[in-house]
Structure 1
Amino acid sequence: MAVKEVAKDAEKKMKDAVGYTKREFSSVRTGRASPALVEHIMVDYYGTPTQLKQLAAINTPDAKLIVIQPWDPSSIEAVEKAILQSNLGITPNNDGKLIRLGIPALTDERRAELDKVIKKMAENGKISLRSIRHEANAKVEKLEKDKTISKDECFWGKDDIQKAIDKYTKELEEALKEKEKELVAV
């Protein structure tokens, strides 16, 4: 495996790690209604765990309300149960056809808790990035040790990997700042 392939593979893994962290951020309630808040909730649909977005239309008619309309009306109880078990802190209002989720305003205490949660998510993302870098650097060093590549190629490979981690760490930091702004704004 060439140095460029190792660096490319590491960069792809880093991109995936940042994408995962951003998806985690979207599941944090900010006081503003968003389909991303509920679409990944797993519902027990006839014994099969299924994402809510595959079972229902999810709409946000205004900034404080999420409306969920299951395509199969018989699944409404399972959807309601999954929402209650999801630890969102929102009680669903079921009228038999639709489920309405009123998004309450965040208290200062809850904002502080959520701020800690998103910072922890960001830190986990950074840990993933560092782990990927460590793994890639080890592969490059092994290539050099096996005399497959020169010392210069090893240096350049590590440099490429470092540039990738710098890029994705910055992207993660920007996503964190954006989420923190959302928490404060609402």
Structure 2
Amino acid sequence: MQSVLKDSEDKMNKAVENLKREFGRLRTGRASTALVENIKVDYYGTPTPLPQISSIAVPDSRSITIQPWDRNAFSLIDKAIQTSDLGLSAVNDGKVLRINIPPLTEERRKELVKLAKKYTEETKVAVRNIRRDGNETLKKKEKDKDITQDDLHKGQDEIQKLTDGYIKKAEQVLGDKEKEIMEI
């Protein structure tokens, strides 16, 4: 029974961590390396993640600098940023690519909050599915006489407590992100 609980908790934790990663990619008014880390650059015919061919830094809250290790990569990185869905453009000064993060409009902020809520809802569904899987595993163990009926009910209660806790964590992460997005 403990292994089922531990497995469920690990999966729920991963779901919330994934939500945090998704939120890192959401563009707020603040610069973050997470915005560009998933951009793939067509580097010598191979889609390569940006951090593997350059160093990325955040010199201030409104800009990101990208310094390619290969001079030939400047135009490739610039093209990858242009074609990404971030709506950003880079300025090339010969040494580094600089991306200025413009302040968000009120309309864009509301869109981002909606998107954040959608991600949170997906995470909650994932957590509930993990709960269902854990409960089914416990029922199967009880049917196979591996655990008693009391253990089954105790296990289901524990899984429900885990579920409630992780859904609350997801809501908390959403609240923090919403505050960050709506901040001017």
Shared fold per TM-score greater than 0.5: yes
1 CA distance for matches of 2:109 and 2:29? 9
Instruction: Tell me how far apart the structure 2 counterparts of residues 154 and 141 of structure 1 sit (CA, whole Å).
Output: 7
- Report the secondary structure of 1:172's partner residue: helix
Distance 1:47 1:8 in 2: 43
In the alignment, which residue of structure 2 is the partner of 1:113? 111
Give the structure 2 partner of residue 9 of structure 1: 7
The counterpart of 1:73, out of the listed 50, 61, 71, is: 71
The equivalent residue for 1:86 is 84
- Please provide the CA RMSD for this pair: 1.2
Name the amino acid aligned to 1:149.
Answer: I
CA distance in 2, matches of 1:135, 1:103: 43
SS at 2:169 equivalent: helix
Is the aligned partner of 1:183 residue 2:181?
yes
* SS, match of residue 83 in structure 1: helix
Post-superposition shift, 1:171? 1.2
Q: Deviations over 1:129-174 (max 9, x none)?
A: 1111111111111111111111111111111211111121111111
Alignment of 1:94-173 (within 5 A): 94-173=92-171
> What secondary structure is seen at the aligned counterpart in 2 of 1:53?
helix
Displacement, 1:31? 1.1
Q: CA deviation at 1:79?
A: 1.6
Deviations 1:44-96 (CA, angstroms, capped at 9, x unpaired): 22233322122211111111111111122222222222212221011122233
Match of 1:52 in 2: 50
* Alignment: residue pair count: 184
The residue aligned with 1:42 is 40
Q: Report the residue type matching 1:105 in the other structure.
A: P
Contact 1:57 1:70 in 2 (8 A): yes
State whether residues 76 and 97 of structure 1, in contact with CA within 8 Å, keep that contact through their aligned partners in structure 2.
Answer: no
Residue identity opposite 2:60 in structure 1: D
Amino acid at match of 1:40: N
Structure 1: tracts of 5 or more residues without a match: none
2:172 alignment partner in structure 1: 174
Structure 1's consecutive aligned runs of 4 or more residues displaced over 4 angstroms after TM superposition are none
Matched to 2:103, the amino acid is A
TM-score, length basis structure 2: 0.95
Distance 1:44 1:164 in 2: 43
Distance in 2 (CA, whole Å) between partners of 1:12 and 1:4 is 12
Unaligned runs of 5+ in 2: none
**How high is the TM-score relative to the length of structure 1?**
0.94
Amino acid at match of 2:93: D
